[in-house]
Amino acid sequence: MNEMSPPTAERAAALKGLGSERKRVEDARFTQGKGNYVDDLKLPGMLFGDFVRSPYAHARIKSIDAEAAKALPGVVAVLTAEDLAPLGLHWMPTLAGDKQMVLADGKVLFQGQEVAFVVAEDRYIAADAVELIEVDYEELPVVTDPFKAQADDAPVLREDLDGNMEGAHGPRRHHNHIFTWEQGDKEATDTVIGSADVVAEEMIYYHRTHPCPLETCGCVASMDKVNGKLTVHGTFQAPHAVRTVASLISGIAEHNIRIISPDIGGGFGNKVGVYPGYICSIVASIVTGVPVKWVEDRMDNLMATAFARDYWMQGKIAATKDGKITGLWCHVTADHGAFDACADPTKFPAGFFNICTGSYDIPTAYLAVDGVYTNKAPGGVAYRCSFRVTEAAYFIERMIEVLAIKLGMDAAELRAKNFIKADQFPYRSALGWEYDSGNYQPAWDKALKAVGYDDLRKEQAERVEAFKRGETRKLLGIGLTFFTEIVGAGPVKNCDILGLGMFDSCEIRIHPTGSAIARLGTISQGQGHATTFAQILASETGIPADDITIEEGDTDTAPYGLGTYGSRSTPVAGAATAMAGRKIRAKAQMIAAYLLEVHDDDVEWDVDRFVVKGAPERFKTMKEIAFASYNQAIPGVEPGLEAVSYYDPPNMTYPFGAYICVMEIDADTGEWSIRQFYALDDCGTRINPMIIEGQVHGGVTEALAIAMGQEIAYDEIGNVKTGTLMDFFIPTAWETPHYTTDHTVTPSPHHPIGAKGVGESPNVGGVPAFSNAVHDAFRPFGLVQAHMPHDHWRIWKIAHDLGL
């Protein structure tokens, strides 16, 4: 007979499991300056690296003179491509099947490209030595426009590929062409568009921008020559993949490489790829025998590490007169910069852009993407989005607005008319995806009601009249968006990176006293994994979340996983966590039944214990079971309580949302202010509503930045015009408006706890909401399409060009 215990609801609340607004356990150390970032690491004898970077976007290197730098006291070494070549490390493979120079090999292809690596006793000496290195450049013609790059007489950028017309993703048809990727039915789409009642056509540009995490990229490489072990601490979003790639590139056996991602100050896709700084630091540590630290400064990060977007999207959308969409055609010119270093699953050179039919039941569609080389930095990463999904969502949400104008129809009504209906799920799109679940109409109705949509439209019409009468210079824009994301890469049958299947993992050990440690193949960069993954486990195992340590990021201890980006942690590693928790519970059930001297089937789970059916006073708690597993194992059953799960999801998850932005615009100055921003997200089962709200606030703020000012801009000779935070827009509290968040819950049918990812939804939905608000303010005066970012000058220009 057990003692009286608290009632079920009280015990469940004490677990702080699924659905609990558990406070972030990480924040105690972050708010007290106790975080442990790469640049906090100080190892004995550590040296510091810095790069000589190219001032030119395209130039031949005639000579490099490092004598003066080498003579500077405190300088230990200067590496150039010539030093790396004998090791085969002057070039490295990219994630996209291309190769990239580690240090400039004969020529440079973008401004900021790494030319030489200086290693010195302190960071300042390294920077001084960089200034002393003389590089003799011969300037070459520059091409920054992806359309001009495809002209017959365009300069050959990649001389290493000249004559090689077979790329990693099929044939290349021009010296600056990378690949063509086609999806859908071209012929059928041409037919539908050719015979449609109405066709709207537009070029939608999603400008080049940059993830710009607060902490830049960096590493500390440490080669222990005595035991042959290489340890690299770094800002890695995918530590295991980095270990495998490092082993393949360096020839060091994988078990002798330890990759550790400590605390990471934001990633947003910027920290997925492998950068020359990592390779050079490793080589320098091997050569010098001491640890070498390399941490970029802000300008290095903005100019040279992975960019995002830069997609020119030509679209045609066909519909009947009453607004039923019948077909979608899209051609993308994708500017990949100097090397194809996009971080996409191998079979998807344009990521998941083929989700561009969005939330709509579009029966026929065709997509072609052409990747092109230009004299810009490489990258093409998923900046807080799942592999080009934000480009796709922006494209379709702009095309819907353009079509609404052509039809003379309200854009909210046009969306509703074309939604995939609840009973069509699972839904197979014309471009090949199977959407797992969705219920769009109730979410849309809720959003429109929450903002008072009909009244807003009336107010807007009155404002237009007042503007025409000269009584106001302020316009009102209502930015509508309904988006569907695709997150959780992914099923191994579809998704791999360099041949590594995109599963993920969790390993759990329950200690004798009933607390636990769980290790995962993912790595948090601020998303709060230590808080939320413990909540999943609490609900699955009955161990309070406060008694569970979550550990990620150390390849010597964590099970193999593909890391964190593309909102994949919850759909994949979260599922692995639930499955490993279930294995623990299955063994716990056997132990409980044994201890209670009943058959396994005669006990049932009750929050944190197994209870004998029909005898609620007879039970064993998880705490008791854990202890018993260490000293009183069932005969023939292994002692201990541990489990591991490698989870290969059967499908992606498809979160969705309805975002509405109400914006005031001053036609005289181009200044904007956000009057209202409403964000409804449906990410299935909600693990921690407070963390979800935080994700939405952060993501919408990044969307605000991208839509309203953030840009990596180049001049015609390839100079980066926005290489510092003076020019690259990062919103502060001053520009950030209030957000109203809301939700519906449509669980994923295949995820063990029904959860979908959420981290990137607010960026995917936020950008078109802000941009559509700008467009909508000028729509009554004839504006159809204007390119982002909508900074004050560009908005003023719209007003000016419309004669306002």
Angle value at C-alpha 339, between 504 and 211, nearest 5 degrees: 55
Pick from 113, 570, 629, 771 the residue near ligand CDP by CB under 6 A: 570
Pick between residue 249 and residue 385 the one whose CB is nearest to ligand CDP.
385
List Cα–Cα distances, 762 to 411, 696, 741, in angstroms. Answer: 21, 5, 10
Alpha carbons 751 and 436: distance in angstroms, whole number: 10
Q: Which helix (H) or strand (E) element contains residue 446?
A: helix 440-451
- Bridge-based pairing of strands 308-319 and 198-209 is antiparallel
Interacting stretch for ligand CDP, rule CB under 6 A, among 127-135, 156-164, 644-652, 685-693?
685-693
Is residue 775 involved in binding ligand CDP (CB under 6 A)? no
Pick from 102, 230, 758, 798 the residue near ligand CDP by CB under 6 A: 758
Q: Minimum distance from CB of 656 to ligand CDP (Å)?
A: 12
Q: Minimum distance from CB of 687 to ligand CDP (Å)?
A: 3
Q: Minimum distance from CB of 686 to ligand CDP (Å)?
A: 5
Shortest CA distance to 280 belongs to which of 127, 129, 118, 64?
118
Q: Minimum distance from CB of 507 to ligand CDP (Å)?
A: 18
Alpha carbons 686 and 682: distance in angstroms, whole number: 9
Is residue 577 involved in binding ligand CDP (CB under 6 A)? no
> Within 13 Å, how many C-alpha atoms sit on residue 254's CB side?
10
Pick between residue 366 and residue 440 the one whose CB is nearest to ligand CDP.
440
Give the distance from CA 508 to its chain's centroid. Answer: 27
Contact 535, 20 (CB under 8 A): yes
Pick from 686, 743, 775, 779 the residue near ligand CDP by CB under 6 A: 686
Pick from 144, 261, 301, 695 the residue near ligand CDP by CB under 6 A: 695
Q: What letter represents residue 241's amino acid? A: A
Interacting stretch for ligand CDP, rule CB under 6 A, among 563-571, 592-600, 607-615, 719-727?
563-571
Alpha carbons 698 and 694: distance in angstroms, whole number: 6
**120-129 burial code (b ≥16 CB/10 A, e <16):** beebebbebb
DSSP per-residue letters across 362-424? -S-EEEEEEEEE-SS--B---TTSSSSHHHHHHHHHHHHHHHHHHHT--HHHHHHHHBPPGGG
Is residue 567 involved in binding ligand CDP (CB under 6 A)? yes
Pick between residue 709 and residue 747 the one whose CB is nearest to ligand CDP.
747
Is residue 381 involved in binding ligand CDP (CB under 6 A)? no
Is residue 757 involved in binding ligand CDP (CB under 6 A)? yes
Q: Minimum distance from CB of 211 to ligand CDP (Å)?
A: 12
Q: Minimum distance from CB of 645 to ligand CDP (Å)?
A: 17
Pick from 133, 306, 328, 687 the residue near ligand CDP by CB under 6 A: 687
Pick between residue 100 and residue 564 the one whose CB is nearest to ligand CDP.
564
Pick between residue 96 and residue 683 the one whose CB is nearest to ligand CDP.
683
Is residue 743 involved in binding ligand CDP (CB under 6 A)? no
Q: Report DSSP state, residue 238.
A: S
Pick from 53, 309, 568, 790 the residue near ligand CDP by CB under 6 A: 568
3-state helix, strand, coil split of the chain in percent (to 5) is: 30, 25, 40
Alpha carbons 78 and 774: distance in angstroms, whole number: 51
Is residue 222 involved in binding ligand CDP (CB under 6 A)? no
Q: Minimum distance from CB of 653 to ligand CDP (Å)?
A: 9
Contact 569, 757 (CB under 8 A): yes
Pick between residue 55 and residue 694 the one whose CB is nearest to ligand CDP.
694
Interacting stretch for ligand CDP, rule CB under 6 A, among 87-95, 222-230, 350-358, 679-687?
679-687
505-511-514-515 Cα dihedral, nearest 10 degrees: -60
Please work out the total of residues on this chain that contact ligand CDP, with binding judged by CB under 6 A. 23
Left if phi > 0, otherwise alpha if psi is -120 to 50, otherwise beta: which for 323? left
Contact 652, 433 (CB under 8 A): yes
Q: Minimum distance from CB of 691 to ligand CDP (Å)?
A: 5
Q: Minimum distance from CB of 485 to ligand CDP (Å)?
A: 9
Interacting stretch for ligand CDP, rule CB under 6 A, among 207-215, 289-297, 393-401, 756-764?
756-764
Pick between residue 703 and residue 758 the one whose CB is nearest to ligand CDP.
758
Which residues are designated catalytic?
A: 237, 384-385, 760
Is residue 684 involved in binding ligand CDP (CB under 6 A)? yes
Contact 567, 761 (CB under 8 A): yes
Pick from 315, 657, 698, 759 the residue near ligand CDP by CB under 6 A: 759
Q: What tokens does 410 get?
A: 């309200």
Q: Minimum distance from CB of 553 to ligand CDP (Å)?
A: 13
Map the footprint of ligand CDP across residues 315-344, applying CB under 6 A. none
Map the footprint of ligand CDP across residues 531-550, applying CB under 6 A. 532
Map the footprint of ligand CDP across residues 505-534, applying CB under 6 A. 527-529, 532
Q: What tokens does 186 get?
A: 């071209």
Q: Minimum distance from CB of 488 to ligand CDP (Å)?
A: 8
Alpha carbons 729 and 725: distance in angstroms, whole number: 7
Is residue 755 involved in binding ligand CDP (CB under 6 A)? yes
Q: Minimum distance from CB of 466 to ligand CDP (Å)?
A: 43
Pick between residue 327 and residue 488 the one whose CB is nearest to ligand CDP.
488
Pick between residue 250 and residue 685 the one whose CB is nearest to ligand CDP.
685
Contact 752, 775 (CB under 8 A): no
Is residue 752 involved in binding ligand CDP (CB under 6 A)? no
Pick between residue 59 and residue 753 the one whose CB is nearest to ligand CDP.
753
Is residue 688 involved in binding ligand CDP (CB under 6 A)? yes
Q: What tokens does 481 get?
A: 């968006």
Interacting stretch for ligand CDP, rule CB under 6 A, among 420-428, 564-572, 736-744, 794-802?
564-572
Interacting stretch for ligand CDP, rule CB under 6 A, among 132-140, 173-181, 606-614, 681-689?
681-689
Pick between residue 335 and residue 682 the one whose CB is nearest to ligand CDP.
682
Contact 434, 426 (CB under 8 A): yes
Alpha carbons 8 and 13: distance in angstroms, whole number: 9
Pick between residue 205 and residue 440 the one whose CB is nearest to ligand CDP.
440
Pick from 569, 577, 710, 741 the residue near ligand CDP by CB under 6 A: 569
Shortest CA distance to 570 belongs to which of 599, 533, 518, 597?
533
* Contacts of residue 60, Cβ cutoff 8 Å, sequence gap at least 6: 106, 107, 137, 138, 140
Q: What letter represents residue 63's amino acid? A: S
Is residue 692 involved in binding ligand CDP (CB under 6 A)? yes
Pick between residue 528 and residue 553 the one whose CB is nearest to ligand CDP.
528
Contact 757, 683 (CB under 8 A): yes
Q: What tokens does 169 get?
A: 């993703």
Q: Minimum distance from CB of 24 to ligand CDP (Å)?
A: 9
Length of the chain (residues): 804
Alpha carbons 783 and 795: distance in angstroms, whole number: 11
Shortest CA distance to 341 belongs to which of 113, 149, 524, 135?
113
Give the distance from CA 504 to its chain's centroid. Answer: 16
Q: What letter represents residue 121's amino acid? A: E
Is residue 683 involved in binding ligand CDP (CB under 6 A)? yes
149-152-156-158 Cα dihedral, nearest 10 degrees: 70
Map the footprint of ligand CDP across residues 235-274, applying CB under 6 A. none
List residues near ligand CDP by CB under 6 A.
527-529, 532, 564, 567-570, 683-688, 691-692, 695, 755-759
